[in-house]
Amino acid sequence: MFLCCLRTTRGSGHRKNNREGRGGVWRRRVHSSLQHLWPFARKKTNHKDQGENVSAPEDPREHCTQSHVSADTLKKLVNHLVPSLQSGDPFFIPAFLSTYRRFATTLQVLNLLFKRYEYFRPNSEEDEQVKNTLCSFLNTWMDKNTEDFCQTSDLLPLNYLKTYLSMNMPDSDLNVRVTRLLTQLQKEQANVSQAKDEEDSDLESNTSSYPELEGY
């Protein structure tokens, strides 16, 4: 693993050139990957030469329709998620996850993804590899964008994910993870609801004890 560190000739100039060469390759790969996502990476800025103020970069997690992307383009990008992992592309997934909320919702992406992989052939080694890659992507998504699945006020994305996994990958570690998380969030949601009911009940009781407050 460390052989690359040993295969350098003496002389700092040569090592510097090697580093710069490798850095250039990585920068070009990053740039190439981001070009695939160019509709989503654009920020709303105004040009100074037009006499307008330049707005600050917007939060990529903002809910969305800030950047217009056609349904066909979105579908192509979602369909490329699993193949990008299979091909070893280290840039497409991070770029997509950091920007997709500008032009789509979590449910929209899940819906397109699950339609793309709605059926797996039994006893197919190729389909098993696709399942493993899909699970890898979904795990990464849950790790990187926790807020997309951990909102007690909106458990629909997590429920949708749970339903899909129960049907297609019931024995996967991801299904176990999602089940545990959903159970935890449902308990938290129930506790919040119970606390609110108790608060409303106390308020109603106090109001009835002081008739002069009923008009407030």
How confident is the model at residue 200, as a pLDDT? 67
Residue 203 belongs to some domain of the structure: yes
Measured CA to CA, the distance from residue 91 to residue 29 in angstroms comes to: 8
> pTM of the full predicted structure?
0.66
What is the amino acid identity at position 151? Q
In a domain, residue 129? The reply is yes
155 band by pLDDT with thresholds 50, 70 and 90: very high
**Long-range contacts of range 111-118, CB-CB < 8 Å, 24 or more positions apart?**
111/160, 112/74, 112/75, 112/78, 112/79, 113/78, 113/81, 114/160, 114/164, 116/78, 116/79, 116/82, 117/82, 117/168
- Please give the residue that has the higher pLDDT: either 56 or 98: 98
Q: Domain for residue 24, yes or no?
A: no
Choose the weakest-confidence range: 18-32, 98-112, 178-192.
Answer: 18-32
pLDDT bracket for residue 194 (50, 70, 90): confident
Calculate the alpha carbon distances from 6 to 1, 13, 108 in Å: 10, 16, 49
Alpha carbon distance 150, 15 (integer Å): 47
Model confidence pLDDT, tens digit, residues 39-63: 444 444 444 444 444 343 443 344 4
Q: What pLDDT is stored for residue 192 in this prediction?
A: 86
**Residue 31, in any domain of the structure:** no
Q: Is residue 44 part of a domain?
A: no
Structure confidence by residue, pLDDT tens digits, 102-137? 999 999 999 999 999 999 999 999 999 999 999 999
Question: 61 near 101, Cβ under 8 Å?
Answer: yes
Residue with tokens 């809910």: 63
Residues 6+ apart with CB under 8 A from 214: 207, 208
CA–CA dist 130, 115 (Å, integer) = 14
Report d(CA 68, CA 121) in Å as an integer. 36
In a domain, 161, yes or no: yes
How confident is the model over 65-94, as pLDDT tens digits? 456 789 999 999 999 999 999 999 999 999
In terms of residue numbers, what domain contains 171? Answer: 59-207
CATH number of the domain encompassing residue 121: 1.20.870.10
Domain assignment present for 135: yes
Q: Is residue 139 predicted with pLDDT exceeding 70?
A: yes
Indicate the number of domains in the chain.
Answer: 1
* Residue 199 pLDDT: 73
Q: Beta strands of 114-164 (E only): which ranges?
A: none
Q: Which amino acid is at 16?
A: K
Look at residue 198 and tell me if it is in a domain.
Answer: yes
pLDDT at 55: 42
CB within 8 Å of 86: residues ≥ 6 apart: 129, 133
